[in-house]
Structure 1
Amino acid sequence: MKNHTKIRCTWANTNDELMQKYHDEVWGKPVHNNQQLFELLSLELMQSGLSWKTILHKQQNFEKAFYNFDYHQVAKMEQQIPDLLQNTGIIRNKRKINAIIQNAKMMEQLEKQGTNFSELLWQFVNHEPIINSVKNHTDIPNTTDLATKISKHLKSIGFSFTGPVVIYSLMQACGMVNDHENDCFAK
């Protein structure tokens, strides 16, 4: 009898169904929707210094706390910061919460200027995913020169908590970079 088990990246070989689903359906798949990109950016900055598993298991709480990452709503959340800091369902880090709100304001500002956030990001990869050859996930860098370049640009226009590591994680999450292992079914 043939084994029909999917071959996944090593990091997704887990019994954690949320991690498997994220690996199979999200990570490395191209995203061009501004609200989805804002959500991924927000989750990636929340993950900074923590495990992705922690963030993934709190994602629904984040969605509830941040209006499903509708950046127009999030941009107006400054007065809700004290409540967010009491919300045990999310990461209660004031710098990170402030950054999400600041980034929502920047998303709105870009929109008012006629700049599409997706277009802004994807132009850095000429609108085509970079497909890396990855034998083992431990070979994947935590950042690249391109992520540093994007980070500097985003910071220069007012985005917050968008360092090179956060940006490289975003690039992986939104499919600008495909870092699935070579033998992974999602490659």
Structure 2
Amino acid sequence: MLAVAEQVFSARGIQATTMDEIAELVGVTKPLIYDYFGSKEGLLAATIERARGQLLAALIDSWVAQPAAAPRDRVRGVVHAFFAFIDEHDEAFALLRTEGALIGEASASVERIRQQTAKAFAEGLRTLPAFGSLEPRRVTVMAEILIGGCERLAVWRSTHPGTTAEEATDLVVTTIWDGLATVAEA
């Protein structure tokens, strides 16, 4: 149900999507969808929450995949996991780009994605020797900056096709890593 809802919401837009359309594509009745999700907003929020969980799993998998890699390479791996996820789940990301149209629980779900992604970045940074001794608040702020840069570049890429996940990763790591490394050495 959630995969179909994701496709329909992103293809038609949140306002134009109807529960009838989703029910028909899933092969269930509209009342069944209402029983599960309560409303179209509830279905949208569940769709966004599904994407949140998938993104978090991809980021965590990337942090643990190369425990012996150099810090810059580990950060690069996580940034690349972010952009690869966006590319592989462009329909879910399309929902997030329409944030201005989101209200209530759906809007709160988008903010939870940001918070959880930044937390995953911060926890990963703390595992790196140079960052482990820094004040936790400082590492959290660095993670917020890192994920903010990733998110804004992902939005830019959606309207400027042609920049690959690899190129986007290089841009973020080159732009942000030098600053992070300087702070970690101070």
TM-score by length of 2: 0.28
Please identify the structure whose Cα radius of gyration is greater: 2
TM-score by length of 1: 0.28
Q: Which has the higher contact order (CA 8 A, sep 6+)?
A: 1
Q: Normalized per residue, which structure has more helix?
A: 2
